Amino acid sequence: MGLLTILKKMREKERELRLLVLGLDNAGKTTLLKRFNGEDVTGTAPTLGFNIKTLEHRGFKLNVWDVGGQSSLRSYWRNYFESTDGLVWVVDSGDRERLQLCGKELRGLLREERLAGATLLVFANKQDLPGALPASAIREALELDSIRSHHWCIQGCSAFTGHNLLPGIDWLLDDIASRVCPPD
């Protein structure tokens, strides 16, 4: 295996990213995924298990893993952490009651060794619904500004309408692509 082979492999690898979509149940993770994939988003049922979708975006091949958010499934999340380039944390901006729990779960994730170095994108979802908190409020509630371990960004959006999804994902891709050091 010479340098040219390495380069060829690396070029393929660099174009292939693994994204993990997590969040509490009913945050809209599967809807987000379906919207990305151009599928019908109405009538999405709670995810029992997990979905994997492969998407092409800006020349990247995105392997997106969406795992159910019910509390019983959360202990299984870490089975999916391996070689994750980007973590997409989806928040139900209208679910004020569980914002604290939401923040706690996120903190837990960020302490995971295997997610160290991954880029974090927070989607403040369901902005299309009345009563949704703005992204800035979510940012405050989740205490994002105290995160030092990860590159992060918060983006208000609506998975249902598709609003603002692309800018968020584009930021995520840019951030991952601008790294020069490979994660292990």
Partner 1 sequence: MPVRAFILTSLLQISFFSGIMDKYQEQPHLLDRHLEWMMTLLLDIVRDNGSPPQLVHLAFKFLYIITKVRGYKVFLPLFPHEVRDLQPVLDMLVDQNPKDPETWETRYMLLLWLSMICLIPFDLARFDGNISEEEHTRVPTMDRILAVAKCYLVVSDKARDAAAVLVSKFIVRPDVKQKRMADFLDWTLSMISKSSFQSMEGTVVMNGMLQALAQLFKHAKREDCLPYAATVLECLDNCKLSESNQMVLRKLGMKLVQRLGLTFVKPKVAKWRYQRGCRSLAANLQAQGSVVQSQMTTVAANEADDEEEYDIPGEIENVVEQLLVGLKDKDTIVRWSAAKGIGRITGRLPKELADDVIGSLLDCFSFQETDNAWHGGCLALAELGRRGLLLPSRISDVVPVILRALTYDEKRGACSVGSNVRDAACYVCWAFARAYDPTELIPFINQIASALIIAAVFDRDVNCRRAASAAFQENVGRQGTFPHGIDILTAADYFAVGNRVNCYLTISVYIAGFPQYTQPMIDHLVNMKINHWDSVIRELSTKALHNLTPRASEYMANVVLPRLLPLSVGTDLHTRHGAILACAEITHALCKLAEENNRSITHYFDEKSLEGLKQIHEEVCIKYKCLIPFMFFTVSAGWQWLINDSLRSLTFASSTARQHIKESAVSALAALCNEYYINEKGEADSALQDELVTMYVSELQNTEEMVRCGFSRALGALPRFLLKGRLQQVLEGLKQVTLISPGNVSFAEARRDALIAIAKVCQTAGVKGEGSQEEYVCKDNVAQIYAMLLNGVTDYTTDSRGDVGGWVREAAMRSLMEVTLLLVQNEAELIDANICKQIMCCVAQQSAEKIDKFRAHAGSVFLALLHFDHPPIPHIPHREELERIFPRSEKETLNWNAASEAFPRITQLLALPAYQYSVLLGLSVSVGGLTETTLRYSAQSLFDYMKKIQNDSSALESFCETLLKVFEDNLRNDRVSVPLLTMLDQMLANGCFDTFTMQENHPFPVKLFTLCKEEIKRSKDIRKLRSSIGEPSTGTSVFAFPQHLELRFPGHCPAQSVFFPVFSRFCGLIQFQGDMREKVFFQLFLLLCHPFPVIRKTTASQVYEMLITYSDVLDPAIMDSVLTILSDTNWEAELPVVREKRNCLCDLMNVPKPQLPPSPFSCTASKGDLSW
Tell me how far apart the terminal alpha carbons of the chain are, to the nearest angstrom. Answer: 20
Answer whether 125's CB lies under 8 Å from 158's CB: yes
One character per residue 1-40, x = contact with partner 1 (rule: CB under 8 A): xxxx-xx----x----------------------------
Residue 31 annotated in ligand binding: no
Residue 28 annotated in ligand binding: yes
Buried-exposed string 39-54: b where 16+ CB fall within 10 A, e elsewhere: eebeebeebeebbebe
Answer whether 126's CB lies under 8 Å from 99's CB: no
Active site residue 70: yes
* Smallest distance, partner 1 to C-beta of residue 36, A: 16
Query: Is 174 a residue that touches partner 1 (CB under 8 A)?
Result: yes
Single out the residue of 25, 26, 80, 162 in contact with partner 1 (rule: CB under 8 A).
80
Ranges within 102-121 binding partner 1 (CB under 8 A): 113-114, 116-117
- Nearest C-alpha neighbor of 86 from the set 68, 105, 60, 104: 60
Query: Is 60 a residue that touches partner 1 (CB under 8 A)?
Result: no
> For residue 174, which amino acid is it?
D
Query: Is 45 a residue that touches partner 1 (CB under 8 A)?
Result: no
* Smallest distance, partner 1 to C-beta of residue 75, A: 5
Q: How many residues bind partner 1 (CB under 8 A)?
A: 53
Instruction: Looking at 71-115, list the stretches that DSSP marks H as alpha helix, in order from N- to C-terminal side.
Output: 71-74, 99-110
Structure tokens at 79: 């089975």
Structure tokens at 29: 């993770």
Q: Which of 70, 83, 100, 161 is catalytic?
A: 70
Q: What's the CA gap between 97 and 125, in Å, rounded? A: 15
Active site residues: 70
Q: Which residues bind partner 1 (CB under 8 A)?
A: 1-4, 6-7, 12, 48-50, 52, 54, 61, 63, 67-68, 72-73, 75-80, 82, 113-114, 116-117, 139, 144-145, 147-155, 167-168, 170-171, 174-175, 178-182, 184
